[in-house]
Amino acid sequence: MKQSSLFPLPLTVFERHMLTDDRPDYPMTCAVHAQFAGTIRREAFSEAFDEVLARHPLLTALVDRSHPGRPCWMPGAVRPGIQWRESEDVTGFGLTDRIDLEREAGLRFQVRQDSEKAFATMLFHHVCSDGIGAARFLEELLAAYHVRVEPDCRADVLPATDLSRLPLRGCVPRMGSFPARVSHQVRTLVREGHHWLCHPVTPLGFPAGACEPGAGTLSLGRLPACEFDEDFSARLRAASKQRGVTMNDAFLAAMFATICEWNAGHPPAASTPWLRIAVPQNLREPADRWMPAANKVTMCFLTRSQHSCENASDLLRGIGVEMSAARYWLRGKSLLRAMRVAQAIPRLERRFREEDRCLATVVLSNLGDYDRWFCSSLPREGRHIRAGNVCLQRLTPAAPVRPQTHAAFCVASYGGVLRISMRPDPRVFTADKAEELLALFASKVESAAEG
């Protein structure tokens, strides 16, 4: 499929929602921060970047609102380039940087390096791509760089790209079986609507000494993060399996416990009996493995009363049951249906964007193991990928925060290391308080690994 026949490409329901929800103070931007050992060869890396960027059209496209019916992607006239910085310049991209998709491409890329190490930061609009799509772009970029630096390597190092999957990114796979699927979806819609209308949730409490409005004290290069080794991951997996749940269920239970303890020490201004975690849900099918960078996720929400979080065993068991059903039935499809209805009724759509309403206490995104998305034909140094003369040592993803949702946590593994990063609302958290909240969550995760 040629790119010329791809456009105009209508935005999906979820893309339209994120575009509408993009705000100057709360931009709908995501990021991946990569650390390398070695020095990137500038000319070869720039050539690889230009080549790979041409294979991911949504990262260079613009949103055109002039088409009747709904906005469309159209090819952009100017492609983004790489911003090269000295290693002493550690500011990187700011947490409040906004990308206007009607005037500029949805990708910014920066490289900082010295004689021993390099840092690459990929900032992208969430309408253009999700975290898995960003991993696909980075995978191809490293492969294209490797080919240029190691000319004797095999030609099949470069992964394929299937443009024909882009028009299908708004399609969701069918799950469950008929006729139970219909009745279950009706019950899910009723339950979700009841939660949204009748259970306003409590945000994270403001810590003492919170930032002033407009402050942006944290850069994407300095996000708070913590790491756990492979032995810990094995113990957590074994403990979760023994309890009949997944590792992700254990993370969710630890997050509810973290919210309760944090809010007990930092009482929020407006409190309700309810807490909610927003959980991104991947909608990719096996055929989407080589789809270019795009957004093919939705959200499902776990709502719990603060009282129900007091019993850790019951909390974990209930989360395990609910998340198992959410995976089987792809519960996030209910949100897409609700958004489709809301987008047809402007007054209802505005309810999604009420800044004084907390839609979720926190976001917890589990990207899994990056090795699932990286090209297996690239060489390795131990557990780390080598691309030419550099070795990828660490990856730190960052999800967007929203009004009244003051923190977004990302869990991901790479090279045998489990890494938890947190993107705090810079108007609420200072760097010290953000580290304190992350440390509290890490301690709850450590407790979950105990037998």
- Residue 180: per-residue pLDDT: 46
- The residue out of 116, 145, 168 marking a domain boundary is 168
Q: Which domain holds residue 322?
A: 180-368+403-448
- pLDDT of residue 377 exceeding 90, the answer is no
Instruction: Give the predicted TM-score (pTM) of the model.
Output: 0.93
Domain count, the chain: 2
Claim to verify: residue 142 and residue 87 sit in the same structural domain:
yes
Same domain for 346 and 202: yes
Q: pLDDT of 102-136, one tens digit each?
A: 999 999 999 999 888 999 999 999 999 999 999 99
In the predicted model, what is the mean pLDDT of residues 327-337? 85
Shared domain check, 221 and 124: no
Mean pLDDT throughout 277-282? 96
From the list 360, 353, 356, 300, the residue with the least C-alpha distance to 326 is: 300
311 and 187 within one domain: yes
In a domain, 104, yes or no: yes
CB 161 within 8 A of CB 62: no
Backbone phi and psi for residue 5, each to the nearest 5 degrees, phi listed first: -90, 0
Place of tokens 């630890």: 254
If asked whether residues 151 and 190 sit together in one domain, one would say no
- Classify strands 29-37 and 117-125 as parallel, antiparallel or unpaired: antiparallel
Q: 288: domain CATH number?
A: 3.30.559.30
274 residue type, one letter: W
* 374 in any annotated domain: no
- Provide DSSP, 112-132: EE-SSEEEEEEEEETTT--HH
Whether residue 137 is found in the same domain as residue 249: no
Instruction: Assess whether 335 and 417 both reside in one domain.
Output: yes
User: Do 214 and 122 fall into the same domain?
Assistant: no
Other CB atoms within 10 Å distance of the CB of residue 48: 25
Q: Does 276 share its domain with 419?
A: yes
- CATH of residue 68: 3.30.559.10
387: β partners: 390
Q: Which of the pair, 451 or 439, is modelled with greater confidence?
A: 439
Instruction: Specify the DSSP element, H or E, that contains 405.
Output: none
Lowest mean pLDDT among 71-75, 142-146, 427-431: 427-431
**SS3 at position 303:** strand
pLDDT classification of 222: cutoffs 50, 70, 90: confident
What's the pLDDT band for 177 if we cut at 50, 70, 90? Answer: very low
**SS3 for 302?**
strand
- Structural domain contains residue 387: no
168, 202, 222 - which closes a domain? 168
Residue 213 has a pLDDT of 46
Q: What average pLDDT does the structure give for the chain? A: 88
| 436 part of a folded domain | yes
**Domain contains 362:** yes
Same domain for 219 and 332? yes
Per residue in 51-101, pLDDT tens? 999 999 999 999 999 887 789 999 998 899 999 988 655 556 666 789 999
> Domain check: are 98 and 202 in the same one?
no
* More confidently predicted of 183 and 322: 322
Q: Is residue 150 part of a domain?
A: yes
Residues 245 and 121 in one domain: no
Residue 184's pLDDT band (boundaries 50, 70, 90)?
Answer: low
431 membership: H or E segment, kind and range: helix 431-448
Q: What percent of the chain has pLDDT over 90?
A: 67
More confident residue, 447 or 208: 447
At residue 342, the 3 state secondary structure works out as: helix
> Looking at 138, 168, 198, which one is the last position of a domain?
168
Q: How far apart are CA 383 and CA 385, in angstroms?
A: 7
Which one, of 220, 225, 226, 216, lies nearest residue 90 by Cα? 220
* Residue 396 placed within a domain: no
Two structure tokens written together for 11: 């935005």
Backbone angles phi, psi at 221, to 5 degrees: -75, -10
Q: Does residue 124 fall inside a structural domain?
A: yes
Strand partners of residue 226:
420
Phi-psi region of 49 (alpha: psi -120 to 50; beta: other; left: phi over 0): alpha
Q: For 274, how many CA atoms within 13 A lie in the half-sphere containing its CB?
A: 16
**CB neighbour burial string for 404-434, b if at least 16 within 10 angstroms, e if fewer:** bbbbbbbbbbbbebbbbbbbbbbbbbbeebb
